[in-house]
Amino acid sequence: MMKLKNVTDSDFLKYGRVIRDVDFTELLEVLREKTPCPDDVVYKPSEPELEALPVMQELQTKVYGEMPIEIGYCNGHNRKLNALEYHRDSEINVAADDAVLIVGLRADVTEDMTYDTSKAEAFLLPKGMGVEVFATTLHYAPAGPEGNGFRVVIVLPRGTNEALQFPHQGGVEDSHLTAVNKWLIGHPEGGLPEGSPMGLIGENPSI
């Protein structure tokens, strides 16, 4: 079992920051009312009912410097790491329920795209709080503390996680690109689709 810290701890500062100047109240109310929380994990990169809210423009202007963004969600039940991914841009996570973020540093990925899972850390993202997860941070689906379900808003640059348009076998990192702006490093015990790029070494940690 992983030691659980809090995103407000100083240890989180190398991975991201707490967003304190945006009101997420309405966004989380709609997330709770309009989206499912299944027994497994569901991810939707773009949800029109979330993107119709005024906070969409605020996040696009204030946090992303007027870059086009998408607002989706990752909901469900999960206890394990299973994989890690990264993007070329920051990702915003906002928790409607207490959730756990399991994260690592891109700098700890080797040249052959392997990563030792013993270096990963787990942080509680309390209900109602939002964080910016830096582009240099490895992350994946949240986990639910004590086996509980979670609902987490996911904000990314528009187009992230959409289907790729071209083959990607141009190098070691390129072969790990599994969707637009998504580089994936899977664990052999992570239950990923057949053919997913592997590279996580060690245990598949759980919270």
3-state secondary structure 15-57: CEEEECCCCCHHHHHHHHHHCCCCCCEEEECCCHHHHCCCHHH
The predicted-structure confidence for 170-195, as pLDDT tens digits, reads as follows 789 999 999 999 999 999 999 999 99
Question: Rounded to an integer, what distance in angstroms lies between the CA atom of residue 123 and that of residue 67?
Answer: 28
Helix (H) or strand (E) holding 95: strand 91-95
Residue 207 lies in a domain: no
pLDDT of residue 1: 81
Residue 99 lies in a domain: yes
pTM, two decimal places:
0.96
Length of the chain: 207
Is residue 206 domain-resident? no
Query: Does residue 131 belong to any structural domain of this protein?
Result: yes
Q: What is the CATH number of the domain that holds 57?
A: 2.60.120.10
The Cα 15–Cα 198 span in angstroms is 23
Q: How much is the mean pLDDT over the chain?
A: 97
Residue 67 within a domain: yes
pLDDT tens track for 56-107: 999 999 999 999 999 999 999 999 999 999 999 999 999 999 999 999 999 9
Task: Supply the range of the domain harboring residue 184.
Answer: 4-201
Number of domains in the chain: 1
- With residue 132 as reference, give the H or E element that holds it: strand 130-133
Say if 165 falls within a structural domain.
yes
Q: Look at residue 119 and tell me if it is in a domain.
A: yes
